[in-house]
């Protein structure tokens, strides 16, 4: 378990009274500074060095004057660029000749020859330049000018002669020419041989052969170039004078070198430094070495006013070799202290801590000495020492090794190996930095020693993390790693107040991981999250429906309100909450991304949920006598409603959405359905195949059938009496299809029959669920039988979901879509419950407005008793779902009456029959109102919409109206009460009275609708017409139309 910051502080209660006091360290530094400024040791050497430098400057001036008097150039490039290779060579051999003559005049040892050779170093540079030009000329494959070849041949011939003379001098025990033999001729012959072998038979073969032949010819000893070398009498005196200067300079150089060696190689000082270092007194050892170092520094500072001091600098560097060896011994001894710096800082031993503090102080002092040398702008081979870089490099290496040592477990041994490793790192980093901070407190802040230690640990951790992420990490390891990166700058690690580290500024300058690597890890986590969320959600849904497939009820629970539910909503949304907890551990920026991924995967899972619900419903519906179909559907409906509530609660993870979300009372009602990308799910509740309950999908086909039937009846009537104008009416005018009426009420929108008939679910804003896009889900029986006969396939569902998924601009759209998906499945379930009730009442619905119905109330009594019986099962629904279901059942029941009226199940031949029909309608309306009112009272529900049975009372009043003159006023009143009532329905109400012709009834209906201002439509008739049955049977059309025509014919004859 991680330690708290207070525990870490207690662990680090180290003894800090062991180190030297700050004043003592300052004294040491001041003493070293004073030694570097002390110039007394070099006072005896100053005169000798100044004499040497003056003589050196005088000799340099004399050589320059000699070159000007002889016309020799130090550079031959100008000759070569002008194509005067032979002139360049002449200048070169004259320069070489004077150098050789000076060396011959000198009778001193070889050291003086070296001195002359150094002063005439340009000779060898000229030789190299001319040799390269000759080699390039010979090796050229292009055509060479004859003049250039002649110059090259002349030079090569002269070089062969000079090489021979040098060999003869060597054989006679005389000084040979310096730098010879050069063997340029052999080099050229080798190049030509290579050309001949490479281009055998080529155009250059004859040319190269001729050159080789000339190079092999004997040398003419009377060459004018040789005479140039031998003709030196004109400048003999100048050479003798230069030789004397060289001798004097050599003497002063030897004297200066001897004094330097005596000063730097003082055995007493170096031995004392070695003894102090052996005894462990690094301060005394370094002080002795600084004493000698000050001599070197002051000497170099003294000569910087002179020109051409490279020889003195080189001499000082060579003489101070013993000093550098002592410095090397010092570094070897103290490197061990640097390697153990962390252990020493954490230890309480006085002596190692003191030595480490002294060493760090010495490193800073030596760094200042390096800076002094750099300010002198002189070159010393051994400087700068760069001890700060080297010693701290050892500490950084040790820190990196220490971080590697923390890695004590492998992935195969412990699945939480990353968490364990990073926790060990956290503990030791805090302890080490705290120890370093207290240890280094005596050093000035400008040294930045503590900042370096922090940076070393930071870079070490960064390197290790970069190494870790190169391997394949699973989701658990990514979470552990990203979580540790999140807490790295917090108060649990670098952000601890007592460490005093600006962790966020450090991360800005040196991120733990590159941005692209961090983004890659986050993408891997998101990808793994998507996969796991989808798999877990599908698995949970599959397991839940597997239990329901076996018709078992043991997993269904009941809450305090008596509502059925299962653990499925909790399981599903606990998956998201778990992912959000992980996202918060990683970073706050990951929360929206993870939530977006979870919502996307849940949207895909709802497709599987939807198909599983339909498959289960269709399989167990026919076996309702042996399976508790209602309880299972009620449980699924409650679960879906809980899922919608849980989806809304997820908005809390995005404050902007949470603040913008409207507050809703508890329990949360089903939210309004938002537009979603609809998926056609094919299913059909098993129903009787009788024509009144079958919905025709092709309006054109149904109209053709109706037109054919009506046309036959009318043609028969016209043959009896040709002057009856009613025979001219079109079939569509006299008997419109209800499918057409519904299409008109939807204002051109195609209405599909969902599981028999659309379910009417209303919300607080008056919006019906069947008005939403969810109601447009197409459930086709033929496709359902072929697709849903077997088990639901997960791969098919995921493929379907992926194809249907659309990009979203923000999380709000995904929240709305997910809620819409759950609402769509909920719509299917509640619609199935409604259809179950109506399916059992189908036979009784067919008795409405029939002759038997006029004589007794058995049909409506049975219907109401059945509804009350189903309520005992439906009461386990959540409150607002019960209201939606009851509203749908009531709507379906009233729609059956409207359908019977429109289809003219009964006709009124006289006023007494109209009164009898009206009285029966009032009886049923009161019975319906009483039944549903009692249910709503038991529910203590105030959410009930308008009493639909009032429509039946108004229709009964209209049918029973005795005064025909008041009929138009009553029709207008009816239209005002129900503005969405179409003219076809009003026409059916007027026509069913049978006291007016069909033509007159239609004219009155259309006139009332035209004159009355519709205003804001209530939508009641729109909902009812969607539940009305299809078109009338052909036999019913004939039974309704032909008797009327006969009565009209009799009246006309009379």
DSSP annotation of 307: S
How far is it, in rounded angstroms, from Cα 260 to Cα 45? 8
Token pair listed for 154: 């002349």
What structural domains does the chain harbor?
72-231 (no CATH), 519-690+753-831 (1.10.357), 841-1053 (1.10.357.70)
| HSE value, Cβ hemisphere, 13 Å, CA-based, for 842 | 16
| HSE value, Cβ hemisphere, 13 Å, CA-based, for 85 | 21
pLDDT of residue 640: 92
Q: Are strands 564-565 and 557-558 parallel, antiparallel or unpaired?
A: antiparallel
Length of the chain: 1054
How far is it, in rounded angstroms, from Cα 505 to Cα 434? 19
pLDDT of residue 644: 92
Burial class (CB in 10 A: 0-12, 13-18, 19+), 881: buried
Burial class (CB in 10 A: 0-12, 13-18, 19+), 95: buried
pLDDT of residue 570: 92
DSSP annotation of 565: E
Asked if 725 and 749 touch (Cβ cutoff 8 Å), the reply is no
pLDDT of residue 361: 84
Report the candidate in 211, 321, 312 with the shortest Cα–Cα distance to residue 265. 321
pLDDT of residue 669: 38
Inter-residue long-range contacts of 142-148, CB under 8 Å, 24+ positions, other chains counted = 148/83, 148/85
pLDDT of residue 290: 80
CA angle 89, 95, 99 (to 5 degrees): 140
Q: Please report where in the chains the tokens 């230690």 appear, as a residue.
A: 453
Asked if 821 and 677 touch (Cβ cutoff 8 Å), the reply is no
How far is it, in rounded angstroms, from Cα 115 to Cα 107? 13
Asked if 815 and 647 touch (Cβ cutoff 8 Å), the reply is yes
Token pair listed for 636: 């699924």
For 214, the 3-state DSSP assignment is: helix
Asked if 232 and 97 touch (Cβ cutoff 8 Å), the reply is yes
pLDDT of residue 793: 46
308: left (phi over 0), alpha (psi -120 to 50) or beta: left
How far is it, in rounded angstroms, from Cα 359 to Cα 282? 7
CB atoms within 10 A of CB 694: 15
* pLDDT less than 50: residues of the chain: 1-3, 5-22, 109, 201, 232-233, 661-809, 1016, 1030-1041, 1044, 1046-1051, 1054
CB atoms within 10 A of CB 896: 24
Q: What percentage of the chain's residues is helix, strand, coil (to nearest 5)?
A: 70, 0, 30
Asked if 139 and 195 touch (Cβ cutoff 8 Å), the reply is yes
Asked if 19 and 357 touch (Cβ cutoff 8 Å), the reply is yes
How far is it, in rounded angstroms, from Cα 119 to Cα 115? 6
Please confirm whether the linkage preceding 667 is cis (ω < 30° from 0): yes
User: How much is the pTM?
Assistant: 0.61
C-alpha separations of 384 from 220, 313, 327, 819 in Å: 58, 15, 12, 72
Asked if 283 and 32 touch (Cβ cutoff 8 Å), the reply is no
């Amino acid at each position: 378990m991680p330690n708290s910051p207070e525990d870490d502080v207690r662990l680090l209660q180290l003894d800090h009274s062991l180190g030297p006091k700050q004043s003592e360290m300052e004294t040491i530094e001041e003493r070293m500074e004073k030694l570097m400024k002390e110039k007394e040791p070099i006072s005896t050497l100053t005169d000798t060095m100044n004499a040497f430098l003056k003589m050196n400057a005088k000799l340099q001036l004399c050589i320059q004057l000699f070159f000007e008097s002889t016309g020799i150039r130090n550079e031959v490039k100008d000759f070569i660029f002008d194509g005067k290779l032979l002139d360049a060579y002449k200048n070169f051999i004259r320069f070489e000749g004077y150098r050789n003559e000076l060396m011959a005049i000198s009778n001193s040892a070889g050291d003086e020859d070296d001195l002359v050779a150094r002063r005439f170093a340009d000779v060898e540079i000229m030789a190299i330049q001319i040799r390269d030009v000759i080699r390039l000329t010979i090796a050229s494959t292009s055509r060479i000018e004859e003049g250039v070849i002649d110059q090259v041949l002349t030079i090569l011939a002269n070089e062969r002669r000079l090489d021979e003379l040098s060999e003869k001098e060597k054989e006679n025990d005389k000084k040979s020419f310096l730098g010879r033999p050069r063997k340029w001729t052999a080099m050229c012959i080798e190049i030509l041989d290579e050309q001949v072998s490479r281009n055998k038979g080529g155009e250059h073969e004859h040319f190269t052969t001729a050159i080789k032949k000339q190079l092999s010819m004997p040398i003419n000893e009377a060459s004018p170039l040789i005479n140039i070398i031998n003709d030196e009498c004109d400048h003999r005196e100048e050479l003798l004078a230069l030789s004397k200067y060289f001798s004097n300079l050599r003497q002063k150089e030897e004297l200066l070198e001897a004094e330097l060696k005596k000063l730097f190689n003082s055995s007493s000082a170096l031995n004392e430094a070695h003894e102090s270092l052996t005894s462990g007194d690094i301060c005394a050892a370094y002080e002795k070495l600084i004493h000698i170092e000050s001599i070197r520094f002051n000497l170099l500072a003294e000569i910087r006013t002179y020109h051409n001091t490279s020889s003195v600098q080189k001499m000082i560097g060579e003489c101070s070799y013993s000093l550098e060896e002592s410095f090397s011994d010092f570094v070897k001894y103290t490197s061990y202290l640097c390697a153990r710096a962390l252990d020493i800082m954490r230890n309480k031993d006085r002596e190692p801590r003191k030595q480490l503090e002294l060493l760090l102080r010495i490193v800073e002092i030596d760094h200042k000495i390096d800076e002094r040398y750099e300010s002198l702008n002189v070159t010393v081979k051994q400087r700068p020492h760069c001890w700060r870089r080297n010693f701290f490099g050892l500490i950084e290496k040790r820190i990196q090794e220490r971080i590697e040592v923390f890695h004590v477990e492998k992935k195969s041994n412990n699945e939480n190996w990353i968490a364990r490793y990073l926790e060990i790192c956290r503990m030791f980093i805090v302890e080490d930095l705290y120890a370093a901070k207290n240890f280094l407190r005596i050093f000035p802040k400008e040294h930045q020693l503590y900042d370096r230690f922090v940076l070393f640990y930071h870079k070490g951790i960064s390197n290790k993390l970069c190494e870790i992420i190169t391997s394949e990490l699973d989701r658990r390891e990514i979470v552990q790693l990203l979580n540790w990166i999140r807490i790295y700058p917090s108060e649990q690690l670098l952000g601890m107040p007592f460490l005093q580290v600006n962790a966020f500024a450090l991360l800005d300058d040196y991120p733990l991981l590159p941005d692209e690597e961090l983004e890659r890890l986050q993408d891997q986590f998101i990808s793994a999250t998507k996969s796991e969320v989808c798999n877990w959600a599908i698995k949970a849904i599959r397991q839940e429906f597997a239990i329901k497939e076996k018709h078992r009820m043991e997993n269904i629970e009941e809450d305090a309100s008596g509502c059925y539910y299962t653990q499925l909503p909790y399981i599903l949304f606990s998956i998201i909450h778990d992912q959000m907890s992980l996202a918060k551990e990683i970073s706050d920026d990951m929360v929206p991304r993870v939530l977006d991924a979870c919502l996307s995967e849940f949207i895909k899972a709802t497709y599987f949920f939807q198909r599983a619900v339909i498959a289960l419903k269709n399989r167990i519906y026919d076996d309702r006598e042996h399976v508790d179909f209602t309880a299972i559907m009620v449980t699924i409906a409650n679960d879906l409603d809980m899922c919608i509530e849980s989806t809304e609660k997820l908005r809390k993870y995005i404050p902007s959405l949470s603040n913008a979300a409207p507050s809703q009372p508890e329990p949360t009602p089903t939210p309004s359905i938002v537009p979603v990308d609809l998926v056609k799910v094919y299913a059909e509740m098993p129903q009787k195949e009788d024509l009144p309950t079958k919905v025709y999908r092709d309006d054109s086909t149904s109209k053709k059938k109706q037109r054919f039937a009506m046309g036959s009846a009318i043609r028969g009537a016209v043959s009896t009496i040709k002057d009856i104008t009613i025979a001219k009416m079109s079939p569509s005018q006299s008997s419109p299809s209800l499918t057409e009426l519904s299409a008109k009420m939807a204002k051109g929108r195609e209405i599909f029959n969902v599981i028999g008939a659309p379910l009417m679910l209303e919300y607080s804003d008056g919006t019906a669920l069947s008005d939403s896009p969810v109601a447009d889900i197409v459930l086709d029986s033929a496709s359902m039988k072929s697709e849903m006969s077997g088990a639901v396939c997960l791969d098919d569902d995921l493929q379907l979901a992926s194809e249907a998924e659309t990009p979203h601009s923000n999380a709000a759209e995904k929240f709305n879509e997910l809620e819409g998906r759950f609402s769509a499945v909920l719509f299917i379930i509640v619609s199935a419950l409604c259809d179950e009730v109506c399916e059992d009442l189908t036979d009784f619905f067919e008795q409405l407005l029939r002759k038997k119905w006029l004589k007794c109330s058995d049909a409506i009594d049975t219907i109401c008793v059945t509804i009350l019986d189903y309520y005992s099962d439906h009461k386990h629904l959540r409150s607002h779902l019960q209201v939606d279901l009851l509203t749908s059942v009531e709507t379906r029941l009233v729609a059956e009456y409207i359908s019977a009226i429109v289809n003219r199940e009964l006709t009124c031949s006289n006023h007494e029959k109209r009164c009898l029909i009206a009285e029966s309608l009032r009886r049923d309306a009161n019975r319906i109102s009483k039944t549903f009112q009692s249910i709503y009272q038991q529910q203590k529900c105030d959410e009930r919409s308008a009493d639909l049975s009032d429509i039946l009372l108004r229709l009964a009043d209209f049918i029973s109206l005795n005064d025909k003159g008041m009929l138009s006023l009553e029709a207008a009143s009816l239209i005002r009460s129900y503005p969405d009532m179409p003219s076809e329905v009003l026409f059916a109400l007027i026509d069913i009275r049978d006291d007016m012709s069909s033509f007159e009834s239609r004219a009155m209906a259309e006139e009332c609708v035209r004159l009355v201002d519709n205003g804001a439509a209530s939508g009641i008739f729109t909902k009812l017409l969607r539940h009305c049955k299809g078109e009338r049977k052909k036999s019913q059309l004939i039974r309704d139309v032909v008797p009327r025509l006969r009565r009209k014919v009799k009246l006309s004859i009379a």
